């Protein structure tokens, strides 16, 4: 089945220790997104790629970076995680980014910062 895969599902890191989260997709979608979601809050868009065209949301902290080496894979790097970065990180994909385009989500990575 075509799907969006995220690894790991749970990640524990220490304050200030860099961490990388990964996402892969078999849907052959052009657009990939990284969201941060905290408990009972709306997902917050961090970045999105239209193919290799990188788009950084204006309020995404510099502590967060992303890479998309090819169509299938996308990475989220948190350079120096703080306690406030503990959250669920969701990767999503969509075909074209157009009006009716549906976003399909991976299962998420829950990040704990000690």
Provide the minimum distance between the beta carbon of 43 and other proteins in the complex, in angstroms, as a whole number.
5
The 44-63 site mask, x for binding other proteins (CB under 8 A), equals xx------------------
Q: What residues does 30 pair with on adjacent strands? A: none
Compute the radius of gyration of the chain from its Cα atoms.
13
Provide the minimum distance between the beta carbon of 80 and other proteins in the complex, in angstroms, as a whole number.
26
Figure out which of the listed residues 49, 81, 87, 106 binds other proteins, where binding follows CB under 8 A: 106
> Which residue is it, tokens 């997902």?
43
The dihedral formed by the CA atoms of 84, 86, 24 and 2, expressed in degrees to the nearest 10: -120
Size of the site for other proteins (CB under 8 A): 20
| 3-class SS letters over 29-53 | CCEEEEEEECCCCCCEEEEEEECCE
Figure out which of the listed residues 1, 42, 69, 70 binds other proteins, where binding follows CB under 8 A: 42
Q: Rounded distance, CA 8 to CA 55, Å? A: 24
Considering the rule CB under 8 A, would residue 43 count as an interface residue with other proteins? yes
| Residue ranges in contact with other proteins by CB under 8 A | 40-45, 88, 90, 97-100, 102-108, 110
């Amino acid at each position: 089945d075509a799907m969006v895969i995220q690894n790991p599902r749970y990640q524990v890191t220490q304050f200030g220790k860099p961490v990388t989260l990964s996402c892969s997709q078999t849907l052959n979608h052009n657009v990939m997104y990284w969201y941060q979601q905290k408990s009972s809050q709306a997902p917050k868009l961090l970045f999105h790629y239209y193919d290799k065209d990188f788009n950084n949301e204006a309020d995404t902290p510099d502590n967060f970076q992303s890479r998309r080496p090819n169509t299938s894979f996308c990475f989220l790097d948190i350079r120096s995680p703080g306690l406030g970065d503990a959250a669920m990180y969701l990767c999503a994909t969509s075909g074209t980014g157009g009006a009716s385009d549906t976003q399909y989500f991976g299962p998420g990575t829950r990040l704990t910062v000690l």
